[in-house]
Amino acid sequence: MFVHDSAEVADDATVGEGTKVWHLAQVREGAEIGANCVIGRGAYIGVGVTMGDNCKVQNYALVYEPAAVENGVFIGPAVVFTNDHFPRAVDPRGQLKSGDDWEAVGVTVRSGASIGARAVCVAPVTIGRWAMVAAGAVVTKDVPDFALVAGVPARRLRWVGPAGVPLEQHGDVWRCPETGDTFAEDDGVLTPTNP
């Protein structure tokens, strides 16, 4: 594990072997980060956030609690995960709200997914396995496995495979031009057809 001198990692946070936490990053209390991850400059990992192995969190990304991030996830520069249905600084009487005045809701990111620069994921949402969220997208509903979504609000444009390139349709089969892997689509759900 490597933690830059300017980074802040809470004493009770868990950071896996081979993980690097770079300049000005903050890893909060109770966070669990797996092995071989990269936490970029100025990134924020919230209280109790869980993150699997081999993840990359790019510069200035904000991963607010209670996010759950599985293995091999890419979180691009300045990505934001929200965590409040109804954000307000004060209550109706004008009193400053505290942590007890709201219920945190989280973003879940499944294995292999990628989230592009400056995307915003509005909790509660789940980003599916090997899905790809385009830069600048605003995700307001769950993203299916293997979906490429873009826009405000984000909508599915295509299917992508684990290699990250768009799949090509051949009759009833979707095929990855890079790996040759094949997939079947049924009612908006894509599933691999070869092991």
pLDDT in tens, 111-165: 999 999 999 999 999 999 999 999 999 999 999 999 999 999 999 999 999 999 9
pLDDT of amino acid 61: 98
Domain count, the chain: 2
Full domain range(s) for residue 167 = 161-195
Decide: 52 and 70 in contact? Cβ < 8 Å.
yes
Assess whether 98 and 17 both reside in one domain: yes
Residues 82 and 10 in one domain: yes
Contact status, residue 59 vs residue 40, Cβ threshold 8 Å: yes
Could you list the pLDDT tens digit for every one of the 195 residues in the chain? Answer: 899 999 999 999 999 999 999 999 999 999 999 999 999 999 999 999 999 999 999 999 999 999 999 999 999 999 999 999 888 999 899 999 987 888 899 999 999 999 999 999 999 999 999 999 999 999 999 999 999 999 999 999 999 999 999 999 998 899 999 999 999 999 989 999 976
- Indicate the burial class of 87 (C-beta count within 10 angstroms; 0-12, 13-18, 19 or more): exposed
Q: What CATH number is given to the structural domain containing 80?
A: 2.160.10.10
Residues 129 and 168 in one domain: no
The answer on 73 and 169 residing in a single domain is no
Task: Say whether both 10 and 73 belong to one domain.
Answer: yes
Q: How far apart, in Å, are the Cα atoms of 138 and each of 74, 131, 141, 149? A: 16, 14, 9, 9
Assess whether 169 and 125 both reside in one domain. no
Do residue 138 and residue 166 come from a single domain? no
Q: Are residues 120 and 130 in the same domain?
A: yes
pTM score, two decimals?
Answer: 0.95
Separation between Cα atoms, residue 19 and residue 142, nearest integer Å = 29
CA 83, 87, 93, 96 dihedral sign is positive
Note whether 146 and 173 are same-domain residues: no
Q: Are residues 41 and 116 in the same domain?
A: yes
Residues 95 and 172 in one domain: no
- Examine the domain organization and report whether 65 and 128 are in the same domain: yes
